[in-house]
Structure 1
Amino acid sequence: MKETIMKKYRLLNRIMDRISENHTGAYAAQSAFFIVLSMIPFIMLLLALVQYTPVTKADVIRAVTHVLPKTIYPMIVSIVNQVYNQSQAMISLTGLVAIWSAGRGVLAMSAGLNSVYGSKETRNYIYLRLRAAFYTVLFIIAIVLSLVILGFGDRLSIFIVNHYPFMKGIIDLIINIRAVASIVVLTVFSMTIYHFLPNKKTKFIRQFPGAFLTAIGWAAASYIFSAYVNIFTGFSTMYGSMTTIMLIMLWLYACMYIMLLGGEVNEMLAEDFFTSM
């Protein structure tokens, strides 16, 4: 019994040492900050594309106010109004430039994973920036899906069923399997990140343990974020109009931290288990 406790203590101590040595918190904070910078322009870009569909401004605002919690939807409604009142070409250009600039979030994640995996960056800078812009879009899609499907899926399903009753069967099926489906998608997404972002050749399948833990962590963080936003109002009193940004920053910081921890798990398994195979 005592030996088991000591082993667990040594393992925990080793993990904490690795987190400190690899500056996990600092890289997670950098990634979260720059990805948040790109989220609003990316949403503006998506809304600009929506204008080419039969969906109207009223439809978008009605969906936002029904699906998102009160703390968040004023900001989104403001973005919707700006998009529909400004030049589509300017919005599209602004969105693309912002996503390119905010690729620094992915560069920070790459640097963090390089630190975790013990590798140095030797790849071409232009290639890294182009790749970072691409992965920024993937990150934002994963983040939005995590929030909307895992965090606010019940609200979304009620809204869709009320307006499109014929979709009730499909929506019920999606809601019933959303947790499992989201875990699978997030696991594959995380495995892709661990395989391609760091400057180290790794086997794709060996990224599964950390990727699976990351997916579980993201799902848990999304549920906690949703519950906090829906139940507690003290945060809004403290930060006022900045509440939405602060909440998203905290949630995203937790997600980036969890992703780097998943990388730590993969690297520790590679050192202790896979090398002996």
Structure 2
Amino acid sequence: MIGLILRGKQIYDKFSKDEMTVYAAQASFFTIIAAFPFIMLLMAMIQLIPTITKSNLLQVITSLVPANLKSLVFGVVENIYTNSPATVLSVTAIAAIWSASRGMLSIERGLNRVFGKQKKRNYVVTRMICAGYTIIFMLICILTLVLLVLGSSIQGFVEHHFPVVAEITHYVISFRTVLLLILTICFTFLYTYVPEKKQHFKKQLPGAIFSTLGWIAFSFAFSIYFNNFSNFSVMYGSLTAIVLLMLWLYVCICILFLGAEINYFYSGDWKEQKKAG
């Protein structure tokens, strides 16, 4: 138990020394700036999928978004469905991807600080790579929404044709399982491929699992607190939703970086640094 506490202190000390909260603040700021064009682009792309209707989409958003932010996101969805998808795509595509890549760039710099750099990439090349990661993230969001919306249809098909595996399928496509699995995979890939110094995939699983559980636990606690005890609306008025979103995202990115520090602690780099010191 004492050893575990000492390890936790070592990880937190490096987290503080690396100034991860600064990178988290930077990443959350640029992500919020890019959030609305990004959401508009994402929703416009989803609108092109005939199996996902407006009511399906709003139902999924209701289960995903905290109550304080629902009116804000619903307004964006309503606005998109009143315009043609082609118009929205043509106006927001470049701005959304380029802006969102700035937030990804801040995350990359934070991970480089955690794991250390091997080389310095050209800025334009780095932005293009981050834009590519942003597109991949967008596709993951679409696939997740499709799975959540069509989950019951998939379950019905499997029950009819493959009754033996129906129970397993029901568990696999359940909301919480999908969320846990996708977040863990995304975080593992993020820790492995986003830093300039590439990491071993399997060694990133501890931090990815920690970040997944941390995000879900914090989001749950965050929602309870601000639904029952917070008076932020008195202080910030119409800006409450934006402030809450930025605060939530800031803490979540801090958890993401803390997961990276955990992976670094259990990697060979930590041991080499300790021997060198």
1:235 Cα deviation after fit? 2.6
Aligned to 1:116: 114
After superposition, residues 224-235 of structure 1 pair within 5 angstroms as: 224-232=221-229, 234-235=231-232
Aligned to 2:102: 104
**Unmatched tracts of structure 1, length 5 or more:** none
1:119 Cα deviation after fit? 1.6
Aligned AA (1:206): K
Aligned to 1:25: 21
Aligned to 2:187: 190
Please list the CA deviations of residues 123-152 of structure 1 after superposition, one character each: whole Å capped at 9, or x if unmatched: 232321122112234556778999x9xxxx
Moved more, 183-192 or 64-73: 64-73
1:215 Cα deviation after fit? 1.3
* Alpha-carbon distance in structure 1 between the residues aligned to 2:136 and 2:226: 25
Task: Report if aligned partners of 1:35, 1:102 keep a CA contact under 8 Å in 2.
Answer: yes
After superposition, residues 1-277 of structure 1 pair within 5 angstroms as: 5=2, 7=3, 10-53=6-49, 59=55, 63=59, 67=63, 70-86=67-83, 88-96=85-93, 97-119=95-117, 121-139=119-137, 173=170, 177-232=174-229, 234-270=231-267, 271=269
1:200 Cα deviation after fit? 0.9
Task: Report if aligned partners of 2:28, 2:103 keep a CA contact under 8 Å in 1.
Answer: yes
Cα 1:127–1:174 change in 2 (3 A) is farther
Q: TM-score w.r.t. structure 1 length? A: 0.75
Q: Percent identity?
A: 34
* Alpha-carbon distance in structure 1 between the residues aligned to 2:213 and 2:124: 34
* Alpha-carbon distance in structure 2 between the residues aligned to 1:212 and 1:253: 19
Task: Report if aligned partners of 2:42, 2:138 keep a CA contact under 8 Å in 1.
Answer: no
Q: TM-score w.r.t. structure 2 length? A: 0.75
Cα 1:275–1:82 change in 2 (3 A) is same
Task: Report if aligned partners of 1:28, 1:257 keep a CA contact under 8 Å in 2.
Answer: yes
Cα 1:190–1:268 change in 2 (3 A) is same
Task: Report if aligned partners of 1:57, 1:80 keep a CA contact under 8 Å in 2.
Answer: no
1:40 aligned counterpart, secondary structure: helix
**Unmatched tracts of structure 2, length 5 or more:** 160-165
Task: Report if aligned partners of 2:40, 2:88 keep a CA contact under 8 Å in 1.
Answer: yes
1:13 Cα deviation after fit? 3.9
* Alpha-carbon distance in structure 2 between the residues aligned to 1:175 and 1:230: 30
Please list the CA deviations of residues 62-94 of structure 1 after superposition, one character each: whole Å capped at 9, or x if unmatched: 647965565323222322333244454442133
Task: Report if aligned partners of 1:142, 1:186 keep a CA contact under 8 Å in 2.
Answer: no
1:8 Cα deviation after fit? 5.2
Aligned AA (2:55): D
Cα 1:11–1:83 change in 2 (3 A) is same
Task: Report if aligned partners of 2:219, 2:248 keep a CA contact under 8 Å in 1.
Answer: yes
Number of equivalenced pairs: 263
Aligned AA (1:243): T
Please list the CA deviations of residues 154-207 of structure 1 after superposition, one character each: whole Å capped at 9, or x if unmatched: xx99xx98xxxx79x99x935985434432322221111111111113211111
* Alpha-carbon distance in structure 2 between the residues aligned to 1:8 and 1:53: 49
* Alpha-carbon distance in structure 1 between the residues aligned to 2:138 and 2:86: 21
